[in-house]
Amino acid sequence: MNIQSAFADALLAPEAVCPPGLLAWNGSDPGRRFAVYRNNVMVSLIDALADSYPVTQELVGEEFFAAMARLFVQAQPPRSPVLALYGEGFADFIEAFPPAVGLPYLADVARLEMRRVQAWHAADAAPLPERELARLLADASLSLARFGLQPSLGVLRSRHAVVSLWAAHQADDVAAALAQIAVDQAEAALVLRVGLEVDITRIGEGAAAFVGGLQQGLAFGAAAGQALAVEPEFDLAATLGMLIRGGGICSAGISGSAAAAVA
């Protein structure tokens, strides 16, 4: 192991001694200086997680969050100097974290917050012009069409009221908003960046299945059938309207072979 690797490993191991080969400019003990540096690195990474997961932190308190985040950092240190998306595995870590077992919704709240971070940093894509979209929706082969969705668009399904929990922490009176929530109520979320804002919208199970199907490359008809199987009252028009208003559809088309088969 070279000195760089030893240095990096020791940064995230609180019990590790100062790596050999380090010198202080004034001849003092480098161990004390290294300990300060190690603490600063750890605090910076914990703060980066807190920035990405503010609601998760509010749900458990700063002290609990910091202790949990510290263990996560030690287990899964950054692999890139860019910290914007650091912590993608945090939700899975929370789900397996014994002290959080009494908060079964916490991991999904973290997943929702990471979807929000990913949406913010996703690539830009121009929405499909409404004229082209209207022409396709009137096409007899619509059921065979495939839609390309915005890179920022994400869907999350949870057995818990994660959208309501997240929204409550955006309210002026958080405690009052939380008091109205049945946390065991299943919810699904649509996450989409619109302009310079990331919107988080509660959607039905059918809408989640439909959008998820389109993301997986299913044709329009297959995605709609999947949604109706999940929720017989699924409102296709309302879901399409939501996607169109948010600029969530950026491409669409019917392959030549599919159109020929219908003809």
Q: What's the pLDDT tens digit per position in 103-148?
A: 999 999 999 999 999 999 999 999 999 899 999 998 889 999 999 9
The size of the chain, in residues, is 263
d(CA 133, CA 142): 11
Between 16-20, 196-200, 229-233, the lowest mean confidence (pLDDT) is in 16-20
CA 143 to chain centre: 30
Place of tokens 């994400």: 154
Query: Phi/psi of residue 187, each to 5°?
Result: -140, 155
Place of tokens 């699924």: 234
CA 181 to chain centre: 22
d(CA 102, CA 98): 9
**Predicted model pTM:** 0.88
Q: Radius of gyration over alpha carbons of the chain, in Å?
A: 24
**Residues 53, 78, 190, CA angle at the centre, nearest 5°?**
35
